[in-house]
Amino acid sequence: MDTTNEHTESNRETIRRAFEAWQEGSSPITDVFAPEMVWRIEGHSVASKEYGSRQEFVDEVLTPFGARFSAGERFRPITIRSIHADGDTVVVLWDGHGIANDGRPYDNSYAWVMKLRDGKVVDGTAFYDSISFNDLWSRVAPAS
């Protein structure tokens, strides 16, 4: 195997392990995010914009999102449809599910495109159903 293929497979494996740990609840997905990571949410959801660091993304999106599930079933990937890798770039197509604090399910499908450096995500872009996300964001207040 040449070094390009080894590099691609190493990145695919890093993301596969991170998603499986998140799915099992043994580790948050943020463990694979570099502090200097830039993350974009595409589309027209209330969270759509570019986040300049892991901390900004965690503070503005992931923490308030997770707090909408604290009284219910935590949100997590339930199906990892596919993981595609090419060099530094890994794309994951996945379905997530959780029960929000109001007792209603939240289901959404995602495509995450991530660029890795030294085993950490340094650049990411997320695509998902904004209508479902916006409904959850406006319907369910984050638990304090």
What is the set of domains in the chain, with CATH numbers?
3-139 (3.10.450.50)
Q: Which two tokens stand for residue 70?
A: 């604290």
- For residues 138 and 143, what is the distance between their CA atoms, to the nearest angstrom? 13
Residue 60 main-chain phi, psi, to 5 deg: -90, -25
**Distances in whole angstroms, Cα of residue 120 to Cα of each of 67, 107, 115:** 25, 27, 8
Using one digit for the tens of pLDDT, what is the confidence trace for 1-59?
457 899 999 999 999 999 999 999 999 999 999 999 999 999 999 999 999 999 999 99
Residue 118 main-chain phi, psi, to 5 deg: 55, 40
Using one digit for the tens of pLDDT, what is the confidence trace for 84-116?
999 999 999 999 999 999 999 999 999 999 999
pTM of the model: 0.95
For residue 75, which of 66, 84, 83 has the smallest C-alpha distance?
Answer: 66
